[in-house]
Amino acid sequence: MIIGVLGLKGSYSEKAAMQWIEKNGTNNAHILEYCGDIQDVFVLLKNGSCDIGVVPLENSIEGSVGVTLDMLLENDMTVIGETIVAIEHCLLSRGKKEDIKVILSHPQGLGQCRHFLKEHFPEAELRTTGSTSHAAKLATEFEEMAAIASPDTAGLYDLNIIMPDIQDMKQNHTRFIIITKPDSPAARSLMMKDGQEEACKTSIIVYLDRDRPGALYEILGEFARNEINLTRIESRPSKKVLGDYIFYIDLEGCISDAIIKDAIYNIRSKVGMLKMLGSYPMFDPYCESNRVYMEKSMPSTD
Amino acid sequence: MIIGVLGLKGSYSEKAAMQWIEKNGTNNAHILEYCGDIQDVFVLLKNGSCDIGVVPLENSIEGSVGVTLDMLLENDMTVIGETIVAIEHCLLSRGKKEDIKVILSHPQGLGQCRHFLKEHFPEAELRTTGSTSHAAKLATEFEEMAAIASPDTAGLYDLNIIMPDIQDMKQNHTRFIIITKPDSPAARSLMMKDGQEEACKTSIIVYLDRDRPGALYEILGEFARNEINLTRIESRPSKKVLGDYIFYIDLEGCISDAIIKDAIYNIRSKVGMLKMLGSYPMFDPYCESNRVYMEKSMPSTD
């Protein structure tokens, strides 16, 4: 099985992929295919160069990863799983703190450390990279460069941890999703089976007609009446005109449950577009067996 | 009156400020105070160095400006107005297209031109700046640098328009808000007056208790029952734990209307926190007198 992940060796997406494999252990051997950016993961899946892809979806400090949301709308992919990774950004460099003039990271990494950057490096030049691990690799070039990336990348790219745990909030987690082409053998072998016991989540995208202002309320009503719990509702511009939105909704339950199937059937008639992203086992951050994934690998600096 | 705007001369925020002044013409003379980033606009307002501030809130391609949303939550500011600016990003440089190795812009500018960058400059180094106008100024340094910024900045910073109209969708608009300290004289003189005839909008922030899953539906129900139209609902992480959100809601109507006041009173008892951002005249993009603001200054390349 070939797994497309965002970034280079040591990336958070690689960690997410390894976590997910460990928990959902297929015994298949797997190869990681490292991708320069999120779009590339989707491209590789589309052209069959990888079987599953692992991309970040949302972060607890900086929110949604817009590119991933857009790609889920634009491409025909099925979500088959999710996992949460503890993020522990460090400032990594070959040089000394006082020499740092350029700081590189993924836009999410820069956003998660916004206050830190403003406080400690107000004059530094900020460069965006396709992933945090790519930033680490580039930072090896000059001593005046630093990357915001995981402590794992320090060892991999021979960088020093200049400052550990630099995100604006000590608690920092990113949710990753595992995606496949709907008709691929990987999708079929890894998708949830009917009758599988685990708690399940379903993700959909809906586009409401602009001229029906109460439509969002009606949709939420359909879920509320059936006691279907929504875990997330996120809007994203339709990109047509300002003030026109698409909604990404995650709900508890599986599309094979009659109650979920009926609710989604009813909603379809009320919206301009409804796209099913898939049903998949929920990652419960409070479950004992998942605790290890929620904790940082380094001692906190508190 | 001193107006804090994001960016340098030629910034989109400056344009938004001028548009708003033109429409809501106070006869007061005004001075623009240019700010390095969005946080700085809030700092200047807080310490009294400016009377009103103009910052971007959402874009039709790339969505919410997270920093502005966060700053509205963290600071005590009142929204007194909004305006929409047509965005027409150009690639600006002193050099030639084939020489460009570094492209600078605000993260929103880079995001709005994501497909363009991937198609035309897959190898370019991307640098983020506090504003698009700052990117234009920095791009004057070397011929291998280019900025994504407005055509106005080309003339101001003596750059060539290498490629015009480069955003991923031809239609590109950003909504800006006009903010003040709640108790400032500027706020009092510029705020909507009771009985003012214009259509009005009200913005609030609500934080729902996590253990009441139907709370969002209940809130929307309060508005729906009273036929209050919501123009926007946006979630943002609470930054406490992943999966915990704050909602930013814009609705039609003024807090001085009994129906709005009652609805908000009822909602207060159902949520963990409710913050009033203010009531202000709505910018109607379809109104004839606003059409000029919605159109680009340059002929389209279609």
What is the 3-class SS of B199-228, one letter each residue?
CEEEEEEEECCCCCCCHHHHHHHHHHHCCC
Q: What is the mean pLDDT of residues B247-257?
A: 94
- How many whole angstroms separate alpha carbon B73 and alpha carbon A11? 32
A190-213 residue pLDDT tens? 776 666 667 899 999 999 876 666
pLDDT at residue A301 tops 60:
no
B9-23 residue pLDDT tens? 999 999 999 999 988
CB contact under 8 A, B239 and A59: no
Tokens 């992933």 -> residue: A131
Tell which B residues from 55 to 94 touch A, by Cβ distance under 8 Å: 58-63, 66-67, 84
Whether the CB of A28 is below 8 Å from some CB of chain B: the reply is no
pTM of this prediction? 0.93
pLDDT of residue A184: 82
Tokens of residue A53, six digits: 């892809």
pLDDT at residue A70 tops 60:
yes
What percentage of residues in chain A have a pLDDT greater than 90? 79
A3-28 residue pLDDT tens? 999 999 999 999 999 999 988 866 66
Whether the CB of B235 is below 8 Å from some CB of chain A: the reply is yes
Q: What is the mean pLDDT of residues A97-116?
A: 96
Tell which B residues from 166 to 205 touch A, by Cβ distance under 8 Å: 168-169, 171, 173-175
Tokens 């980033």 -> residue: B37
A254-269 residue pLDDT tens? 999 999 999 999 999 8
Q: Which of B107, B126, B221 sits opposite A217 (nearest CB)?
A: B221
CB contact under 8 A, B62 and A237: yes
CB contact under 8 A, B230 and A239: no
pLDDT of residue B184: 82
B227: left (phi over 0), alpha (psi -120 to 50) or beta: left
Q: Compare all CA atoms of chain B with the CA of A113 and give the residue at the minimum distance.
A: B67
Chain A nearest CA to B143, separation (Å): 18
Residue A302: which pLDDT band, with cuts at 50, 70 and 90?
very low
> What angle is formed at CA B191 by the lines to CA B185 and CA B192, rounded to 5 degrees?
150
How many cross-chain Cβ pairs, A to B, lie less than 8 Å apart?
131
- The answer to whether B172 and B109 are in contact (CB under 8 A) is no
Identify any residues that bridge with B177 across adjacent strands, giving them in sequence order.
B55, B82
Q: What is the mean pLDDT of residues A272-298?
A: 89
Closest CA to A141 of A104, A86, A88: A104
- The answer to whether B220 and B267 are in contact (CB under 8 A) is no
Closest CA to A16 of A25, A6, A26: A6
Q: What is the mean pLDDT of residues B42-61?
A: 96
pLDDT at residue B205 tops 60:
yes
Q: Which of B61, B67, B126 sits opposite A127 (nearest CB)?
A: B126
Predicted interface score ipTM higher than 0.85: yes
pLDDT of residue B302: 47
Identify any residues that bridge with A84 across adjacent strands, giving them in sequence order.
A175
Closest CA to B13 of B77, B109, B104: B109
Query: What are the φ/ψ torsions at residue A108 (nearest 5 degrees)?
Result: -65, -40
Q: Compare all CA atoms of chain A with the CA of B227 and give the residue at the minimum distance.
A: A214
CB contact under 8 A, B220 and A216: yes
